[in-house]
Amino acid sequence: MLFNFLENRVFKPEAKLPVDLQPDMKGIDVVNCIVEKRGFSEYFTDADIESIRAYRLDFILRFGFNIIRGEILTVARFGVWSFHHGDEMKYRGGPAGFWEIFNGDPVSGAILQQLTSKLDAGVVLKKGYLKTISHSYRENLSQLLMVSSSWPASIADQFAGGQPGRQRGFASVTDSASPTNALIYKVPGNWDMLKFLCLLMHNRLKFYYYDLIAAEIWNVGIVRKPIHELALGEVKLSNAEISWLPPATKNGYFADPFGFLKDDQLHVLAEDYSYIGQKASIAEFIMVPHPVRVPHPDGVIHPDGALHPHLSYPFVFEHDNLVFCIPEAYQTSEITLYRRDQASEKFVKNRVLLANVCAIDPAVVLYNGLWWLFFTTKKHSNTHLFLYYAEDISGEFKPHRLNPVKTDIRSSRPAGTPFIYNNVLYRPAQDCSVTYGGRVAINRVLNITPDEFSEEVINLVEPPKGSEYNQGLHTISAAGSFTLIDGKKFRPNCVFFNHQMMKKMKRKDGGHV
């Protein structure tokens, strides 16, 4: 009773508000069907089956009925497709997005499946994982509905483009149904709802503390071992292995370190962020042997034609004995390649790799004869991984057929240098499921071509225990025999509080996420 009351008055998200589709549906045939109910299952009549079959449909998208079974599941070429807003390996039944909050699960899953006779255990067409919005059931449900809404069109485009295989980019999917035997959840009772409301209140207070008061403070560390040893090693990173840079001012931090070696000296580039100016630039340090900041009055990277852009994530790589950098500057709507000028020791603009894209944390790697460009976008910065490729770093970058090739809060957003070890490509990615930049997931790339992509997480690099920066780690990059990392701590900050309050006062929805 309590859930049903609140569902329509408090919990109903914008994604579930009705939309008039009549103008868009003009001229489209309608078949009114009568189903026969057998228990919780529903079966279509033979006459309706034949009427539908006459249209020779590629697929049917299901939004109603209960559990449908029988010949309707095979009447279309690719069957009946249906959403399940939950990870079917853990949550079957419903309500969608509710039990993840109740159980304290940091991620909420969703799938688009081709239905079989087993409940929530169809053939998975697409699968994704989002961060559970634990302080708002309405928002958690809304994000599941909105993010997954484009998946049928995406799958249909792949079929129309001659890609009817089962490598969907979200998982390595087979033609067999999901093997799930997960518990089937039902609508919560009144006692569970009372506990749930108390949990929401606790989670909301915690959310506002980190959203308004506790500012993120990052710092850069240097580890004296190559990236493959740190990324693939079984031994956890310890604070004794790390040489930390001197911290920035109390109203700023250093993060996103990348580097290169020149004349046996380690040069480190890092984001230099100021809470006072709400702006980031790129700072450079030389380790000789203690870190010395290199003075660059107008910046080590000075973008042409951009008005004071926010620069971060200075992805550095070397090619043909030259040093290049691709910083994140999504406000320019471009991914720009810069080359290190040896005379001025600054990075000068080389070319635009991609235009009209608000890219987050771009990273490139040369593998199997192609340059691969990974990034997320501002709209879904922590979940949606995009992939482009080119035959040469100076050539045209083309989009991957499966873009976005992955939707997973735990292992999508780039987190440093992709590297090749024993002829295998590995890709560091952020795990933001518990907190932003919580740790780094090391992905082993299983298949990467212009038409296919799959990878699996094979290791996790956790924040170093015993360090004051033990609340997060979101960059692991290679610089010769060194590996650069960053670490996070939280600290109350008045400047941060004032800025966050001003942002919320300007928002029309009262400051809710």
pLDDT tens for each residue of 4-45? 999 988 898 988 889 999 899 899 999 999 899 998 899 999
pLDDT of 106 reads: 97
Contact partners, residue 320, CB within 8 Å, separation at least 6: none
114-135 per-position pLDDT tens digit:
998 887 778 999 999 999 999 9
Q: Per CATH, the architecture of 2-188 is what?
A: 3-Layer(aba) Sandwich (3.40)
Pairing of strands 41-44, 252-262: unpaired
pLDDT of 167 reads: 40
179-205 per-position pLDDT tens digit:
888 999 999 999 999 999 999 999 999
* 3-class secondary structure per residue, 326-384: EEECHHHCEEEEEEEECCCCEEEEEEEEEECCCEEEEEEEEECCEEEEEEEECCCCCCE
* Residues 8-29 as b or e (16 or more Cβ within 10 Å = b): eeebebeeeeeeeeeeeeeeee
- Please report which confidence band the pLDDT of residue 65 belongs to, taking 50, 70 and 90 as the band edges: confident
The top-scoring range by mean pLDDT among 60-64, 234-238, 335-339 is 335-339
| Mean pLDDT score, 138-148 | 95
| Mean pLDDT score, 60-67 | 90
Residue 379 has pLDDT above 90, yes or no: yes
pLDDT of 168 reads: 41
**Average per-residue pLDDT for the chain:** 91
CATH 3.40.50.170 domain span(s) along the chain: 2-188
Residue 463 has pLDDT above 80, yes or no: yes
Q: Which CATH superfamily is domain 208-506 in?
A: Glycosyl hydrolase domain; family 43 (2.115.10.20)
Provide the 3-class DSSP secondary structure of residue 16.
helix
Task: Report the distance separating Cα 166 and Cα 30, nearest Å.
Answer: 31
Residue 162 has pLDDT above 70, yes or no: no
Residue 451 has pLDDT above 80, yes or no: yes
pLDDT of 163 reads: 57
- Please report which confidence band the pLDDT of residue 507 belongs to, taking 50, 70 and 90 as the band edges: low
241-252 per-position pLDDT tens digit:
999 999 998 899
CATH 2.115.10.20 domain span(s) along the chain: 208-506
Task: Report the distance separating Cα 434 and Cα 28, nearest Å.
Answer: 45
Residue 424 has pLDDT above 90, yes or no: yes
Task: Report the distance separating Cα 488 and Cα 360, nearest Å.
Answer: 19
pLDDT of 410 reads: 97
**Which of 43, 152, 144 lies closest to 95, judged by CA?**
144
pLDDT of 508 reads: 53
The share of the chain scoring above pLDDT 70, in percent, equals: 94
Residue 169 has pLDDT above 50, yes or no: no
pLDDT of 120 reads: 72
| Mean pLDDT score, 137-154 | 95
Place of tokens 């952020």: 430
Sign of CA dihedral 24, 27, 29, 34: positive
